[in-house]
Amino acid sequence: MALDTLATETPKESVLDLLKKERELAVQEHAAASAAIAASQAATASKVNATIAAMDSVKNEAKKLQDEIKAIEIAADSVSLENMYKLNGF
């Protein structure tokens, strides 16, 4: 119902009451939207934190594997040197 229609067919007190109710509803909608945005931001932050934790875990696992590879390479070099010494009579 348009306000001009309300003004001609409804007493002024009723129009003011309707406007107050409309304002209250707008405030409630704004509060609900703000709460929804906050919840969405919190969920996004949680997902970001989980992703960062997963990336850190992968990075740590990669570091462990690199360390193991280095240890294997050192052991292989040691075996090669030992075999070379044996072949040369040391």
Is the pLDDT reported for residue 89 higher than 60? yes
Angle at 44 between CA 43 and CA 47, to 5 degrees: 90
Whole-structure pTM value: 0.55
Would you list the DSSP string of 23-82? HHHHHHHHHHHHHHHHHHHHHHHHHHHHHHHHHHHHHHHHHHHHHHHHHHHHHHHHHHHH
> What is the overall mean pLDDT for the chain?
87
Burial of 15 from C-beta contacts in 10 A (0-12 / 13-18 / 19+): middle
Classified as helix, coil or strand, 86 is helix
Over residues 29-51, mean pLDDT: 97
- Taking only the tens place, the pLDDT of each residue in 48-86 is 999 999 999 999 999 999 999 999 998 888 887 777 767
Rounded percentage of the chain residues whose pLDDT exceeds 90: 61
Torsion angle of the four alpha carbons 50, 52, 54, 60, in this order, in degrees rounded to the nearest 10: -150
Is the pLDDT reported for residue 9 higher than 70? no
